[in-house]
């Protein structure tokens, strides 16, 4: 009956196809090849030990039903597993089901390398051949609840939430998050992963840094296990690769990643990437990969604005159950403006000092403790600093302060800047005018008088000016 093994297996596949979804069938059953049929023992070939173990873990009962349906209750299934051993031979050996592969292999006189017989080729977890378990490599503390939203990350965070709700089912595939160091890329992508693991228990989620991916690929070359490496990554439902820019110049790694990317994308799996720059600015990456990075959505993370920085600090304080005076929080937020990691590091330093010395933290102590974090504690206040402060407060570019426009909101911001420059610097009126588009001293006098008059008659305006003065006092006194 050996000539009928293909017919029998085709009938088994028809039964299996009716009991699994299309994607699972394509991934796990189409690659199987029927080898032989001896009485009621059907032998099939699978591409790797890892592939075999996945079938045993997830589909063994279904396969038993299928073969018994075709060959009767005494039917048995054997596997012919392709193994790449250390000598470079790819000769398959047979493992009888349901026995363990190592035992059966030795009974048949097969020489199995120790690193293969004792473990699955899983680059992250080596649980032995009894059970497959893939650790997602996620930090459980990275969740959406403690990822503060601001203008700096609104698009990226919203896209991340959409992907988390419907992984692989949105147009954001791949989702590329890019931005500078310490802006929250890793937090965001791991928050997506944690959300998916919470809502989709059966999905296989994996976070990997690109450098680890590269090193794993190199190890797979050394141990002749490249097929296992590829098979492992192709079974992931949600693949998150951090710092993809480090693939630059790694041609063989890019080639492998290209094929893994294609397989996952074509099978509706979600791919999430991070980079320190936009896809168009990546160098040393093959064009075919870059074009795929642009298939989905590329969203940037920018430096957080003042309000977002304060919110990040307050959230961190709430999570840690501590309290700091408002002026201390604002001092940290104003002086550490480009890196969330440093922002939180400064807060941790203050907490450590407070705990060790059992003393409350005030503004003066904060300035002393954070002098290594903040380089501008004793910096001289300049008109440039005042202009930056005012423009940040009113959310407008500095160029508008120096322009000829007479729009009311621009004129008012310009007048406040002149008023503060006169009050907090020793610059002459003529020089102040030069900083604002070459205006003369009489314009500065008029601006200062206008601000003073408005403060006397408009309570809201007075509060805005006093708030700006307070910020200057905190940061430059």
Whether pTM exceeds 0.75: no
- pLDDT level of residue 267 (50, 70, 90 thresholds): confident
Say if residue 100's pLDDT is above 70. no
Q: Within 13 Å, how many C-alpha atoms sit on residue 264's CB side?
A: 29
- pLDDT level of residue 124 (50, 70, 90 thresholds): low
Which domains occur in the chain, in start order? 2-117 (3.30.300.180), 144-301 (3.40.50.300), 306-372 (1.10.8.60), 383-476 (1.10.1750.10)
Instruction: Looking at 72-153, list the stretches that DSSP marks H as alpha helix, in order from N- to C-terminal side.
Output: 101-107, 114-117
pLDDT digits (tens, 9 = 90+) for 46-99: 877 667 777 877 788 888 888 888 888 888 888 887 654 434 444 444 444 442
Say if residue 193's pLDDT is above 90. yes
* 460 membership: H or E segment, kind and range: helix 459-476
Say if residue 226's pLDDT is above 50. yes
pLDDT digits (tens, 9 = 90+) for 252-266: 899 889 989 988 988
The CA distance from 446 to 450, in Å, is 6
DSSP class of residue 339 equals -
Go through 281-309 and write b for each residue having 16 or more CB atoms within 10 A of its CB, e for each that does not: ebeebeeebeebbeebbbbbbbbbbbebb
Angle between helix 5-17 and helix 60-71 axes, rounded to 10 deg: 130
pLDDT average, residue stretch 170-179: 90
Residue 471: the pLDDT is 78
pLDDT digits (tens, 9 = 90+) for 361-408: 777 777 777 776 665 434 557 888 888 889 888 888 888 888 888 888
């Amino acid at each position: 009956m050996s000539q009928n093994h293909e017919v029998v297996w085709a009938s088994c596949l028809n039964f299996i196809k009716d009991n699994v979804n299309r994607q699972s069938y394509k991934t796990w059953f189409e690659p199987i090849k029927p080898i032989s049929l001896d009485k009621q023992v059907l032998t099939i070939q699978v591409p790797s030990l890892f592939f075999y173990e996945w079938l045993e873990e997830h589909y063994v009962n279904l396969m038993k039903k299928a073969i018994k349906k075709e060959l009767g209750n005494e039917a048995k299934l054997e596997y012919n597993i392709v193994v790449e051993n250390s000598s470079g031979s790819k000769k398959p050996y047979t493992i009888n089901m349901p026995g363990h592969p190592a035992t059966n292999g030795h009974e048949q006189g097969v020489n199995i390398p120790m690193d293969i017989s004792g473990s699955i080729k899983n680059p992250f977890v080596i649980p032995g051949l009894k059970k497959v378990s893939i650790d997602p490599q996620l930090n459980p503390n990275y969740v959406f609840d403690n990822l503060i939203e601001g203008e700096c990350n609104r698009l990226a965070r919203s896209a991340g939430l959409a992907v988390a709700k419907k992984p692989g089912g949105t147009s954001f595939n791949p989702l590329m998050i890019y931005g500078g160091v310490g802006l929250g890329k890793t937090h965001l992508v791991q928050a997506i992963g944690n959300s998916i693991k919470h809502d989709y228990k059966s999905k296989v989620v994996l976070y990997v840094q690109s450098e680890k991916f590269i090193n794993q690929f190199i190890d797979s070359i050394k141990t002749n296990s490249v097929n296992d490496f590829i098979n492992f990554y192709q079974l992931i439902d949600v693949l998150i690769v951090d710092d993809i820019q480090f693939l630059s110049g790694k041609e063989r790694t890019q080639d492998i990643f290209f094929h893994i990317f294609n397989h996952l994308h074509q099978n509706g799996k979600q791919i999430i990437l991070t980079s320190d720059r936009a896809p168009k600015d990546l160098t040393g990456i093959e064009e075919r990969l870059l074009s795929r990075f642009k298939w989905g959505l590329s969203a940037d993370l920018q430096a957080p604005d003042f309000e977002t920085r304060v919110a990040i600090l307050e959230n961190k304080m709430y999570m840690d159950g501590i309290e700091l005076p408002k002026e201390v929080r604002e001092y940290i937020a104003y002086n550490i403006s480009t890196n969330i990691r440093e922002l939180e590091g400064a807060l941790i330093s203050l907490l450590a000092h407070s705990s060790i010395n059992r003393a409350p933290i005030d503004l003066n102590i904060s300035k002393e403790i954070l002098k290594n974090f903040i380089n501008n504690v004793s910096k001289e206040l300049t008109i440039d600093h005042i202009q930056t402060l005012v423009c940040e407060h009113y959310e407008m570019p500095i160029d508008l302060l120096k322009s000829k426009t007479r729009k009311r909101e621009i004129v008012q911001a310009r007048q406040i800047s002149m008023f503060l420059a006169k009050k907090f610097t020793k610059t002459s009126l003529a020089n102040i005018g030069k900083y604002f588009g070459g205006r003369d001293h009489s314009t500065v006098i008029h601006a200062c008088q206008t601000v003073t008059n408005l403060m006397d008659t408009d309570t809201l305006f007075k509060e805005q000016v006093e708030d700006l003065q307070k910020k200057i006092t905190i940061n430059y006194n």
